[in-house]
Chains A and B, each alone.
Chain A
């Protein structure tokens, strides 16, 4: 079941903040965040596992709500290098499968000077 991401696109000036949301209709085992630059492979940012968890590095952080159905990615004081498409990937089925990562449609972030 594909997670829903919003917004679809964001345009920022350097130094501005952005929030990208990822939601599911049912509780998740985990949420993964990836960033993809044009023509490149997705690059792993972070995983959230526990309800209420928050984590991050540098000026990019994320949260996972208590019900484990919604995650947000926070980009503060954005830099030009933050430009790219951000995908959330969710694992909602652990059981007999490996809990495959299913990606949302992505949020295209453009940071302008």
Chain B
């Protein structure tokens, strides 16, 4: 079964550094998402992306964050200047729209654990 793949599985970085988290969504999917989960807490929506532009973003997704689909397969999340509170598991997800988006399941990748020291 096709799956969403994320790299790296674990990223350690120093405060103030830039990081890029990478995702390869399922090939025929059209909608892409980033979610964040701080250890032991809920899964939080960050941003959704469709047709090469951001569809919606949450309050968490401030100017330090950006997303890009640089080619036909990758979907990246960049954090420009990381803070300690950015430490979390970041999940990429994709969706194949079938009629209406709300009735389709999200397919999650296994996540990238980001540790900011």
Binding site for B on A (CB under 8 A): 2, 29-30, 32, 36, 40-44, 47, 49, 87, 89, 91, 94, 97-106
Q: Are B108 and A42 in contact (CB under 8 A)?
A: yes
Residue in A40, A44, A47, A100 whose CB lies within 8 Å of B103: A47
Given A98-B48, A98-B50, 4 more A-B residue pairs with CB atoms under 8 Å apart are A94-B100, A98-B55, A100-B48, A103-B35
Please tell me if B111 contacts chain A, counting CB pairs below 8 Å. Answer: yes
Q: Are A99 and B102 in contact (CB under 8 A)?
A: yes
Binding site for A on B (CB under 8 A): 31, 33, 35, 41-45, 48, 50, 55-56, 91, 95, 100-111
Closest to B6 in A: A41
How far apart sit A43 and B108, CA to CA, in the bound complex (Å)? 7
How far apart sit A40 and B6, CA to CA, in the bound complex (Å)? 12
Among A29, A91, A98, the most chain B Cβ lie within 10 Å of the Cβ of A98
Q: Are B43 and A30 in contact (CB under 8 A)?
A: no
Q: Are A103 and B56 in contact (CB under 8 A)?
A: no
How far apart sit A5 and B35, CA to CA, in the bound complex (Å)? 19
Q: Are B103 and A101 in contact (CB under 8 A)?
A: no
How far apart sit A49 and B103, CA to CA, in the bound complex (Å)? 7
Chain B positions within 8 Å of A91 at CB level: 101-102
Q: Are A97 and B55 in contact (CB under 8 A)?
A: yes
